[in-house]
Amino acid sequence: MIAINVDSPSESENLRKTAGYSFLFLCDEKLEVIRKWDLVHPHARPSDEADIARPAEFLLDANGTVRWVNFTESYLVRARPKRVLDAAAASSLAVK
């Protein structure tokens, strides 16, 4: 699992540690990758109305082929873990 967000490396690391996440966080402060995937949520950051990424989940196989995608229109909405696991199972990507 990898997360990509608009926060600085230090903010991302702080969030990762505080929340107890063990996966990699990549920082896209200029929204370059986020824009390429059409994931910008304009003016959505509550503190300053800056552009941020809207949530999206991608399941890729070992060859890098996208097998499942979940997009939302709001940064407040996330896929439930069961939905992701069901999608993985349906795509033969089940975690062993």
In CATH, the architecture of 2-90 is: 3-Layer(aba) Sandwich (3.40)
Element (H, E) at 14: helix 9-19
The Cα 88–Cα 79 span in angstroms is 13
16-53 residue pLDDT tens: 999 999 989 999 999 999 999 989 989 988 899 999 88
pTM score > 0.85 for this model? no
52-88 residue pLDDT tens: 888 888 898 888 888 899 988 777 788 888 998 898 8
